[in-house]
């Protein structure tokens, strides 16, 4: 989750964003990623960053993908 947060922060900086409303992650059922663990780790990973108030949405798919699908700015 920390890598996801770092990536989103970098994209936000590159695009001059001061706030991010939500992050949408795509998580495949065949991936090694457990959506519940992402949700539980998200508050700690964003603590002290501009993403503290950002929402997290997880979309599960049938494949093995694990991607940042969308970053929704305010």
pLDDT tens per residue across span 29-65: 999 999 999 999 999 999 999 999 999 999 999 999 9
For the chain, the domain total comes to 1
Residue the block writes with tokens 């990623």: 33
> CA nearest 12: which of 53, 50, 56?
50
Q: Compute the C-alpha angle 18/11/29, nearest 5°.
A: 115
pLDDT at 74 over 90: no
Note down the domain range covering 62: 2-6+15-73
Mean confidence (pLDDT) of the chain: 96
CATH number at residue 65: 3.30.2320.50
Is residue 69 packed enough to be buried (19+ CB in 10 Å), middle (13-18) or exposed (0-12)? middle
Q: Calculate mean pLDDT across residues 18-32.
A: 96
* H or E stretch at 51: none
Residue the block writes with tokens 């969308």: 70
pTM, whole model, 2 decimals?
0.92
Of all residues in the chain, what percent carry a pLDDT higher than 90?
Answer: 99
């Amino acid at each position: 989750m920390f890598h996801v947060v770092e990536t989103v922060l970098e994209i936000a900086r590159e695009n001059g964003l001061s706030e991010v409303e939500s992050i949408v992650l795509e998580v495949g059922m065949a991936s090694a990623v457990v959506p519940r663990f992402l949700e539980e780790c998200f508050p700690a990973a964003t603590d002290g960053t501009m993403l503290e108030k950002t929402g997290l949405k997880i979309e599960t798919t049938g494949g093995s993908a694990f991607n940042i699908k969308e970053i929704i700015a305010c």
